[in-house]
Amino acid sequence: MAMSLLSQLKTMTTVVADTGDLDAIRRFTPQDATTNPSLILQAAQQQDRRERLARIASESRDIDEAVDRVAVDIGTEISALVPGYVSTEVSARLSFDRAATVKRAHSLIARYQREGVGAERILIKIASTWEGIQAARELERDGIRTNLTLLFGFTQAQACADAGATLISPFVGRILDWHKARHPEADFSGANDPGVQSVKRIYEHYKAHGYPTIVMGASFRNVGEITQLAGCDRLTISPKLLDELDQQQGDLTRMLHPQKASHEPTAPLDEATFRWEMNQDEMASDKLAEGIRKFMADQRELETLLGELRQNAQA
């Protein structure tokens, strides 16, 4: 019997659901699940959650607490559906504040533990700024596992490995978006996709140097990007693309192999070098800043929703 592309992918890569949609998680049975402010907002807008959200909002001291409680509430539900990690993001507002990120991460873990979800099940998602990466270094030493997100460049990946992050989420589709906007006539299909090339380079570098940090490709625009990265440690995929993979058949070739990794010289990055190299990488700088702004915009929308529910409950 022919196997779907999704079934074949699961034999060579750990498949992660990039969603807060519980029905989609039940259907595709991923190993892990990731969320972010945009996905939490989508889940929070579901009508069947409004009563719970109103209760959380009314019982919280302030909107910051309400936002974290909603994220943990949804994450706790997800943790019952997947056997592996659940990623929960620290507020994008804290992307340049190491100490506040560390404090918020400890608070999120404590909330999960009160819900019966152990710290070993949670990845705290943090933007891959210099401050975020240093917060991850501290959290990993404290026994809290991290997922460094909004990662667009090799410099960010190097610094994350230096910091001992459990996992990184290098973005694919948003890198492609940037290049297509500037070179609309170029052929970016298949292996020519600059987002695919970025993840492949990071993966091979990590394997060549023996870094234990997990590489999880993210932010896909099409099935072709996913199949080009078959064999990556993990891939986090939206329900729409999971469905496409599940519906398609054919032979899936493994594209990434640890033993084929090429060696690139490297040295630990200090802050000045990191900032200089990020400054030189126009795409990574642009997309990191844009990603933080977009996540923060969705968080503000969630905050507004919770504020309205809080006022209605207190009226």
Average pLDDT, the chain: 94
pLDDT given at position 51: 83
In this structure, the strands spanning 167-170 and 32-34 are unpaired
pLDDT given at position 267: 80
9-58, pLDDT tens digit by residue? 999 999 999 998 899 999 999 999 998 888 888 888 888 788 888 889 89
- Compute the average pLDDT of residues 141-165: 98
User: Of all helices (H) and strands (E), which one includes residue 126?
Assistant: strand 122-127
Coil, strand or helix: which one is 53?
A: helix
126-148, pLDDT tens digit by residue? 999 999 999 999 999 999 999 99
Query: Would you say residue 291 has pLDDT above 90?
Result: yes
Please tell me which residue, 307 or 150, carries the higher pLDDT value: 150
57-74, pLDDT tens digit by residue? 899 999 899 999 999 999
Domains annotated on the chain, with CATH: 5-310 (3.20.20.70)
- Best CA proximity match to 66, nearest among 315, 304, 312: 304
Contact by Cβ (8 Å): 153, 163 = no
- 294 classed as catalytic: no
Query: Would you say residue 223 has pLDDT above 70?
Result: yes
- Compute the average pLDDT of residues 173-188: 97
Coil, strand or helix: which one is 15?
A: strand
- Name the catalytic one among 125, 200, 207, 287: 125
Cross-strand partners of 236 = 16
| pTM higher than the cut 0.85 | yes
- Report the amino acid identity of residue 284: A
Query: Would you say residue 261 has pLDDT above 70?
Result: no
- Compute the average pLDDT of residues 185-206: 96
Query: Would you say residue 263 has pLDDT above 90?
Result: no
